[in-house]
Amino acid sequence: MRTTVIIPAAGSGTRFGADIPKQFVALGGIPIIVRTLQVFEETGAVESVIIAASQDFHEYLRALQSQYGLKKIVALVEGGKERQNSIMNALQTSICEASDVILVHDAVRPFITPNFITSIAEAAWQHGAAIPGLVPKETIKECSNDGYVRATHERSRLRAIQTPQGFRREIITAAYQKAQNEGFLGTDDASVVEFAGFPVHILPGIEENIKITTPLDFEWCQWRIAEKAKGG
Ligand code: C5P
Q: Which residues are paired to 159 by β-bridges?
A: none
Q: Is the CB of 165 under 6 A from ligand 1?
A: no
Confidence of residue 121 (pLDDT cuts 50, 70, 90): very high
Is the CB of residue 128 less than 8 Å from the CB of residue 198? Answer: yes
pLDDT at 18: 80
* 193 pLDDT above the threshold of 80: yes
Confidence of residue 132 (pLDDT cuts 50, 70, 90): very high
Is the CB of residue 114 less than 8 Å from the CB of residue 43? Answer: yes
Average pLDDT in the 140-147 region?
97
How, if at all, do strands 3-8 and 101-104 pair? parallel
Phi/psi of residue 171, nearest 5 degrees: -75, -50
pLDDT, tens digit, for every residue of 22-46? 999 999 999 999 999 999 999 999 9
Report CA(46)–ligand 1 centroid distance (Å): 21
pLDDT, tens digit, for every residue of 157-179? 999 999 999 999 999 999 999 99
Global pTM value: 0.96
- Nearest-angstrom CA–CA distance, 89 and 93: 7
Average pLDDT in the 191-217 region?
97
- Nearest-angstrom CA–CA distance, 150 and 145: 10
How, if at all, do strands 30-31 and 141-143 pair? unpaired
* 13 pLDDT above the threshold of 80: no
Q: Is the CB of 114 under 6 A from ligand 1?
A: no
> What's the chain's average pLDDT?
96
Phi/psi of residue 168, nearest 5 degrees: -60, 140
Is the CB of residue 120 less than 8 Å from the CB of residue 166? Answer: yes
Q: Hey, which of 20, 32, 55, 83 would you mutate to test ligand 1's pocket, going by the most ligand atoms within 8 Å of its Cβ? A: 83
pLDDT at 17: 79
Average pLDDT in the 66-71 region?
98
Average pLDDT in the 105-131 region?
98
* 129 pLDDT above the threshold of 90: yes
* 231 pLDDT above the threshold of 90: no
Q: Is the CB of 86 under 6 A from ligand 1?
A: yes
Q: Is the CB of 82 under 6 A from ligand 1?
A: yes
Is the CB of residue 212 less than 8 Å from the CB of residue 32? Answer: yes
Q: Is the CB of 22 under 6 A from ligand 1?
A: no
pLDDT at 95: 97
* 14 pLDDT above the threshold of 80: no
Pick the CATH number of 3-132+161-229 from 3.40.50.720, 3.30.750.210, 3.90.550.10, 3.30.70.260: 3.90.550.10
Q: Which residues are paired to 75 by β-bridges?
A: 50
Is the CB of residue 72 less than 8 Å from the CB of residue 47? Answer: yes
